[in-house]
């Protein structure tokens, strides 16, 4: 079946630095990528939607200059958390949709801790 590889699975970074999270679709072309944030024991909150080759569409309240999304190819999307602060610590999950089916394939998530 369709697989999305998300890396890193966990990362610790210092406050003020930037962190990049990658999601790669391994056996299909991801035309649309969704990026979610999940706080402990809470639901997934959509941050942004990106279509290959286009600028991402951010949800209300999400700072696009802080959470940079790049979807330059049909197999790779990245989320960069710039100038990270402790309040950015969270679990980030990507989800991809391809041209062929109607389903969503989720990455395994990235736990970000900012110290």
Partner 1 sequence: AQTVTQSQPEMSVQEAETVTLSCTYDTSESDYYLFWYKQPPSRQMILVIRQEAYKQQNATENRFSVNFQKAAKSFSLKISDSQLGDAAMYFCAYRRGNTGTASKLTFGTGTRLQVTL
Binding positions for partner 1, rule: CB under 8 A = 32, 34, 38, 41-46, 49, 51, 57, 91, 93, 95, 97, 102-104, 106, 108-109
The dihedral built from the CA positions of residue 90, 57, 99 and 20, taken in this order, carries a sign that is negative
CB 108 within 8 A of CB 7: no
Q: Which is nearer to partner 1, 25 or 49 (CB)?
A: 49
Q: How far is the CB of 83 from partner 1 (least distance, A)?
A: 26
CB atoms within 10 A of CB 39: 11
Q: How far is the CB of 32 from partner 1 (least distance, A)?
A: 7
């Amino acid at each position: 079946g369709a697989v999305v590889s998300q890396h890193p699975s966990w990362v610790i970074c210092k406050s003020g630095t930037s962190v990049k999270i990658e999601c790669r679709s391994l056996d299909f072309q991801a035309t649309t990528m969704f990026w979610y944030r999940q706080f402990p024991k809470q639901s997934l909150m959509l941050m942004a939607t990106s279509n290959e080759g286009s600028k991402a569409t951010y949800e209300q309240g999400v700072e696009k200059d802080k959470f940079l999304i790049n979807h330059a190819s049909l197999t790779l999307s990245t989320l960069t958390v710039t100038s990270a602060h402790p309040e950015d610590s969270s679990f980030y999950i990507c989800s991809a949709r391809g041209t062929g089916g109607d389903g969503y394939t989720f990455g395994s998530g990235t736990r970000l801790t900012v110290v």
